[in-house]
Chain A
């Protein structure tokens, strides 16, 4: 809560969840969890799906704040936030512009790199490049330019879908195909070996703060879609098992990224810490999962803070135009 701010008797909050994407189920769960927590905190909560009645519902519900918890393109590419901005009702999380920039990993990488943040070297290639030029020739050039292993991923996609770690040039073609299934633009990124961290950044109105980093240790060595949804495939540690000085560097990086990309009240920055203790930016999650087993609520819990109170503070900050 903003220091000195007066807490409303009962904030009216419209939580949006669902959408049409393969992450719909996670979004519905996130929405219900957020709605429950906000209700526990004393807010009047309406939980809805954004559909053809969205504007009518907003007019009828008259929320003070809207909290979009949609994942995937339908919630994170900026379109929904653009629409919400038109209604004039404040909403939690990134601005439409911020979401649009962060949703496209290739653009986010350029922006954070310009701000002096380390991110692995990469090449961004639209699918059409391979169609217009000789695909084999392009792949040969890429292979000469990039040292293997590399990570191939769709520029716009969530949950690590379409992501492949490629050890040798011979497998690059298949990895490109798998990435283009999800998006017409793919990134070929230098693989950085190290410890994967997820750092949630929140801003309750008094400035962004980084929550304890979650360390992700896939038992298979890879944190892909299956590892994210199949129980037993990943071990998590919070706080992460790294030196405090390294964690501070990671927290600083996450806050920098959060501000640079206009994430406002909430974001989760995924990064990797190399063997020298240097954190590298990988991507930002505009609408991080908020289910009971998601990383962000676990980070909040690790601070000892009350989840309902933190969520309510974020909603209040949004209402007051802070963050």
Chain B
């Protein structure tokens, strides 16, 4: 037995060796759920997993065969840090659907748009810098901003998206306090987790404000093509090239397992992104880039997006129908695209504390607290309708109602509501 008491963090003998920023890493509230939701009995309304089963396997199999026979040696080799030229050219066609016209030179391929965000964080954020964000905001982005020790300031957001008046007021206040604002981070279309879409009028005002105030907008748009009725307003990047950095992804319109996203940035920033990408990865996966390129070349990818829209529309309808049937008194957003409903619970119910109870009732969701950097969101939860079948969505929300009603009864017992 050792005579010297050990000091440790989770018995980590290297505790004193870590960089200070390692302390910014924490367990995602979503991650702990992954183990539970893998059980078939549990209806997961938690993770935002695309329904890849709606992607005919033969489409990718044919792409794979073509790629290997025509460019196999290149696909298995290192590539450039900016990404495959043919794919970048094809991405222009994808972005054109959102109103964006850009040069292949300004596109950088990344390992999912998440890595694009990380590269941008590394390039721009010093400790204490401020990132402005919606309320609520994407959990994956918050993790990156936290890792770079930035302060996230959540701004008032409603059914029309981020409020430009709140943006102006916040900039004024923060600058008055001597704070340095680096980004405005937005998921303007069918936001994660809110499902809300930023209106066209607000987009123009926000661009105008950020241009005037010299603040970069990170326009993160993984869901824009997954609309159910009408396409959302065109991307902000389509009318503002200098202060908008646009992030796109193949995770939702094709498959997340391929891990391919892209960043469209002003030339000077793009140069730095390429260098940062080379430094981090040497090159993004040539194999998956060329596979996607082949898919875009030979398949009816727009038709496939239509198929995805139909699948998710049906599931959105199932989710809203079940909310109306089992939890009609709760407020929920009504997204016209994307993957998520944002639900407001009766006052006093804590979505994070309620989660273990929900799991025992065989339903999982994501607590609202995951989407705030400031501890907010306890009264909210996110329902993902993208992955479960409509029948399971109904069952999951029915189970959720049992849990919420039990909590409501408990609060009533103690006169808390």
Contact = CB atoms under 8 A, between A and B. Distances in A.
The finding on whether chains A and B are genuine partners in a shared complex, rather than unrelated, reads yes
B25 A22 contact: no
Nearest to B35: A25
Contact of A177 (B2, B25, B36, B411): B411
| Chain B interface size, under 10 / 10 to 19 / 20 to 34 / 35 or more | 35 or more
A239 interface: yes
A249 interface: no
A313 interface: no
Given A130-B413, A162-B353, A241 B42 contact: no
A304 B416 CA distance: 53
B415 interface: yes
Given A180-B410, A229-B27, A237-B5, A22 B32 contact: yes
Most buried by A among B11, B12, B27: B11
B105 to A, nearest CB: 42
B32 A232 contact: no
Interface in B334-388: 348, 350, 353-357, 359-360, 362
Interface string A176-187: 111011100000
B357 A182 contact: yes
B329 to A, nearest CB: 20
B9 interface: yes
Interface string A230-246: 11101111111100000
A178 B27 CA distance: 22
Nearest to B6: A238
B413 A131 contact: yes
A21 B362 CA distance: 9
Interface of A: 18, 20-22, 24-25, 28, 73, 127, 130-131, 135-136, 161-162, 173-174, 176-178, 180-182, 212, 229-232, 234-241, 293, 298, 302-304
6 smallest beta-carbon distances between A and B, as pairs: A25-B35, A22-B356, A293-B10, A24-B35, A237-B5, A24-B36
Interface of B: 1-2, 5-12, 23, 25-27, 32, 34-36, 39, 41-42, 348, 350, 353-357, 359-360, 362, 407, 410-411, 413-416
17 contacts: A21-B36, A24-B35, A25-B36, A28-B35, A127-B410, A130-B413, A135-B413, A162-B353, A177-B411, A178-B353, A181-B350, A239-B1, A240-B5, A293-B11, A293-B12, A298-B11, A304-B2
Given A230-B27, A232-B9, 20 more contacts: A21-B356, A25-B34, A135-B414, A161-B353, A162-B353, A177-B348, A177-B410, A181-B354, A181-B356, A231-B12, A232-B23, A234-B9, A236-B6, A236-B9, A237-B5, A238-B11, A293-B12, A302-B6, A303-B1, A304-B1
